[in-house]
Chains A and B, each alone.
Chain A
Amino acid sequence: TQLLEQSPQFLSIQEGENLTVYCNSSSVFSSLQWYRQEPGEGPVLLVTVVTGGEVKKLKRLTFQFGDARKDSSLHITAAQPGDTGLYLCAARKSNTGKLIFGQGTTLQVKP
């Protein structure tokens, strides 16, 4: 059973389109993180959300943490080819810092 369910698993869109990626769970988390990973590299942290209902913006990316701290979304406005990559949500289940990852969303933005 996947603790964090991401959807969609694969997304191919044209440059300029908007998109939303979802990360859902039945568990409550104290914090949730979003990472972006490019081929041949490790994941890079984009954002950490900790408060229910919290919204954070990073240029054209908007991250939201659900009110109940069980789910999160990543919205990209006017996607660009440089946004192409694997997007991963991750949450901590204990105080060890160990991260539980979703299965990832592969985004392809065509010029």
Chain B
Amino acid sequence: GAGVSQSPSNKVTEKGKDVELRCDPISGHTALYWYRQSLGQGLEFLIYFQGNSAPDKSGLPSDRFSAERTGGSVSTLTIQRTQQEDSAVYLCASSSGTSGTDTQYFGPGTRLTVL
């Protein structure tokens, strides 16, 4: 498939555990974004990558959240010591550029539930 893929599609974890969420962007897309969406709500920006560097990490809610991107492709979002308020759908998007008219293509998301 040529779209953005994310894994796992669903993740249930216990409070205090660490989780890793994976994003495979569209091949050749240099920009990659992570967003978080609470039930039925709009998306909240977390972090943006241009290549392997992250010029904008301003949306990460706390130092328990981190992300990396390797080889200009796959990205991993890690949440340490998960809390119940971390429960949400985590969406990844990629684009070929960052201009105002560039299209961001979204993956289907990972639904995270923290018990």
Write the residues of chain A forming the contact surface with B, with a CB cutoff of 8 angstroms: 4, 6, 30-31, 40-45, 48, 50, 86, 88, 90, 92, 94-104, 106
Most-contacted residue by chain B among A30, A45, A50, A101 (CB, 10 A): A101
**Which one of A30, A31, A97, A104 contacts B41 once the chains associate, using CB atoms below 8 Å?**
A104
Interface size on B, residues (CB 8 A): 31
Chain B: minimal CB distance from A107 (Å) = 12
Q: Name 19 interchain pairs, CB-CB below 8 A, sorted by A.
A: A6-B42, A30-B100, A31-B100, A31-B101, A42-B91, A42-B106, A43-B106, A48-B100, A48-B101, A50-B100, A95-B99, A96-B50, A97-B97, A97-B99, A98-B45, A99-B43, A100-B45, A101-B42, A102-B42
B27 close to A (CB within 8 Å) = no
Consensus secondary structure, chain A interface:
loop
Closest to A40 in B: B108
Write the residues of chain B forming the contact surface with A, with a CB cutoff of 8 angstroms: 4, 31, 33, 35, 40-45, 48, 50, 55-56, 59, 91, 93, 95, 97-109
